[in-house]
Every structure is written in structure tokens, then in C-alpha cells.
């Protein structure tokens, strides 16, 4: 899709801030208003729209994509989304590890501890490996 707007603006809305293109609200793929919950996120999404060249490349707009998914997929049924996360957690081998044999424990630590270290350093996420829930 080609760029069709000249100006990107933020407009106060119920529950947050809407992104507007030439005075018209941006909508998600599900046709809901693209309403962001706080000024910092709204400005970051607006900057993605300002940065669009001649054609829209969704891959260059990750925050817009995440906001669209949160509005269209998560907000309508947060409980279902939480259930999906919990189901994933049941199979997570990064944090939930084997308690035997020792050889498997050592292989898991060698393979996955570097990833946990990266998440801790990059995102401040202190993910802790355990052998039980």
C-alpha cells in the first residue's frame, strides 16, 4: 500500500491516545481505533507512521503491529490469551528443566543458560530455571 498521508498527529481519546493520519484515526486490521494507553507508546507508534517512505512496510513498524495484536486479539478475551500463555509455560524448557539424569541437566544448562543470561542483561528479566512448578 502506498503512503497516502502527509501529517501524523496524536489525539486524546477515551482510555489513551489515538494516532491520526491527516486528521483521520488509524484503525487496526480488525477496524478498531488504534488507541495507545500512554503518551510514550503513542509517540513511538506515531514516529513509526512518520517514518514510512513511499510504501507501507509493516516489518518496519513493530510497535504498530504489537498494538494491533493487543487490541484485536488480546483485549477481546484476555482470559483466553492468558490460558494460551499458561499452556506454553507447561512446555517451556528454558526455565523448566529435567531433574535427572545429570548428563541431561548439564546439556540443558549449557544450551539454555546463555539465553536466560541474555534476557536478564537485555531486558532485566530474571528468569530462573527450576525442576518443578
CATH of the domain at 61: 3.30.2180.10
Q: Does residue 132 lie in a domain region?
A: no
Predicted TM-score (pTM) above 0.85: no
Q: Between 73 and 125, where is the model more confident?
A: 73
Phi and psi dihedrals of 83, rounded to 5? -65, -40
Number of domain units in the chain: 2
Residue 132 has pLDDT above 80, yes or no: no
Phi-psi region of 5 (alpha: psi -120 to 50; beta: other; left: phi over 0): beta
What pLDDT is attached to residue 121?
Answer: 93
Q: What value does the mean pLDDT take over residues 17-38? A: 97
Strand 35-36 versus strand 8-13 pairing type? unpaired
Q: How confident is the model at residue 53 (pLDDT cuts 50, 70, 90)?
A: very high
Same domain for 105 and 60, yes or no, is no
Q: How confident is the model at residue 133 (pLDDT cuts 50, 70, 90)?
A: low
Phi and psi dihedrals of 38, rounded to 5? -145, 160
Q: Does residue 63 lie in a domain region?
A: yes
Before 2, cis peptide (omega within 30)?
no
Same domain for 26 and 64, yes or no, is yes
Residue 58 has pLDDT above 70, yes or no: yes
Same domain for 26 and 69, yes or no, is yes
Count CB atoms within 10 A of the CB of residue 6.
Answer: 7
CA angle 97, 100, 106 (to 5 degrees): 65
Q: Does residue 86 lie in a domain region?
A: no
Strand 16-21 versus strand 8-13 pairing type? antiparallel
Same domain for 56 and 23, yes or no, is yes
Same domain for 59 and 102, yes or no, is no
Same domain for 109 and 58, yes or no, is no
Domain range for residue 105? 92-123
Amino acid at each position: 500500500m502506498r503512503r497516502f498521508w502527509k501529517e501524523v498527529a496524536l489525539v486524546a481519546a477515551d482510555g489513551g491516545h489515538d494516532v491520526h493520519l491527516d486528521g483521520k484515526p488509524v484503525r487496526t486490521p480488525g477496524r478498531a481505533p488504534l488507541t495507545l494507553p500512554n503518551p510514550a507508546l503513542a509517540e513511538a507508534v506515531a514516529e513509526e507512521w512518520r517514518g514510512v517512505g513511499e510504501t507501507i512496510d509493516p516489518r518496519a513498524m513493530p510497535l504498530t503491529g504489537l498494538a494491533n495484536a493487543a487490541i484485536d486479539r488480546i483485549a477481546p478475551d484476555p482470559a483466553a490469551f492468558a490460558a494460551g500463555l499458561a499452556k506454553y509455560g507447561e512446555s517451556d524448557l528454558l526455565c523448566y528443566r529435567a531433574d535427572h539424569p545429570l548428563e541431561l541437566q548439564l546439556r540443558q544448562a549449557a544450551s539454555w543458560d546463555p539465553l536466560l543470561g541474555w534476557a536478564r542483561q537485555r531486558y532485566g528479566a530474571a528468569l530462573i530455571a527450576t525442576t518443578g512448578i
